[in-house]
């Protein structure tokens, strides 16, 4: 069901033009929403609730405060990477996950500009069409390409983030910030990124991507090394070797801050 709902939302998003800046609504620090986001989520909501009338939606735009995760809950980001979308930068997606009692069981990330759909089922692998996804085998930091997300919504986290960057950037072959956590996690699952970290994400930013990475053989935890789940907070993902290395760098940064 996540596949069909994401495909319908993607079809809608391909038919509408990004609104001009006079029609953007700010819902937080440098965080915008438009009628396009809401229109996509309304379509997703209608499809999912029609298919499973007893289920509930945890969605970025229309129900962002739902805390009860009992039973079947759909975790929906109708347009992950809104700022990219508004500026014509082709790195944005629809992300939908299905969780039962807080456990993520299915997920879809639809990269709309590329019209590529990535899906995962718990125990069933991660896929892009007939192609099974697998995380990379890179284990040497100097050969690794790492993804990240800036704390643009929480500028108070910037000093800690810059300390992490000072350790990670020079030790790798490159770091990229493309602006859609859902697609960044897809890139980890597909072996394009060897690792990824971000300090603050909402459930809808990451739920489907978490399952994709795990089903592709990767590791996804919070910043303390606990398995990442359906909650607000930071995330560290990667193939097993690069996840362990990223955790070490982040841990050493925290140790330095405690000592000072």
- Give 196's Cβ-side CA count (13 Å radius): 37
Band of pLDDT at residue 66, cut at 50, 70 and 90: low
Pick the CATH number of 2-132 from 3.20.20.80, 3.40.50.2300, 3.30.540.10, 3.30.70.930: 3.30.540.10
The class that CATH gives domain 141-259 is: alpha beta
User: In terms of C-beta density within 10 A (0-12 exposed, 13-18 middle, 19 or more buried), how is residue 139 classed?
Assistant: middle
Residue 222, token pair as written in the block: 């919070």
Q: What is the CA radius of gyration of the chain?
A: 18
For residues 58 and 224, give the distance between their C-alpha atoms in angstroms, rounded to a whole number: 25
pTM as predicted? 0.91
**Nearest-5° angle of CA 223, CA 178, CA 102?**
40
User: How far is Cα of residue 61 from the mean position of the Cα atoms in its chain?
Assistant: 16
pLDDT at residue 253, rounded to an integer: 61
CB 221 within 8 A of CB 118: no
pLDDT tens digits for range 156-207: 999 999 999 999 999 999 999 999 999 999 999 999 999 999 999 999 999 9
Domain boundaries, the chain: 2-132, 141-259
pLDDT tens digits for range 114-166: 999 999 999 999 999 999 999 999 999 999 999 999 998 888 999 999 999 99
Share of the chain above pLDDT 90, in %: 79
For residues 241 and 160, give the distance between their C-alpha atoms in angstroms, rounded to a whole number: 23
């Amino acid at each position: 069901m996540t596949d069909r709902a994401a495909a319908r939302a993607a079809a809608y998003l391909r038919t509408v033009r990004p609104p001009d800046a006079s029609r953007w609504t700010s819902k937080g620090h440098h965080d915008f929403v438009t009628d396009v986001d809401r229109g996509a989520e309304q379509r997703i909501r209608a499809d999912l609730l029609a298919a499973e009338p007893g289920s509930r939606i945890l969605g970025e735009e229309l129900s962002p405060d739902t805390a009860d995760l009992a039973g079947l809950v759909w975790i929906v980001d109708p347009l992950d990477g809104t700022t990219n979308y508004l500026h014509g930068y082709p790195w944005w997606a629809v992300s939908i996950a299905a969780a039962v009692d807080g456990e993520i069981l299915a997920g879809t990330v639809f990269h709309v500009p590329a019209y590529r759909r990535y899906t995962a089922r718990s125990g069933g692998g991660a896929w892009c069409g007939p192609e099974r996804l697998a995380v990379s085998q890179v284990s040497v930091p100097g050969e690794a390409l790492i993804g990240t997300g800036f704390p643009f919504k929480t500028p108070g986290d910037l000093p800690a983030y810059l300390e992490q960057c000072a350790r990670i950037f020079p030790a790798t072959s490159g770091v990229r910030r493309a602006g859609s956590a859902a697609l960044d996690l897809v890139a980890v699952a597909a072996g394009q990124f060897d690792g990824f970290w971000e300090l603050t994400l909402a459930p809808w930013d990451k739920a489907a991507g978490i399952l994709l990475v795990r089903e592709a053989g990767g590791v996804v935890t919070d910043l303390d090394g606990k398995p990442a789940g359906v909650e607000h907070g930071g995330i560290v993902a990667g193939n097993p070797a690069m996840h362990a290395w990223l955790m070490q760098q982040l841990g050493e940064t925290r140790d330095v801050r405690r000592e000072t």
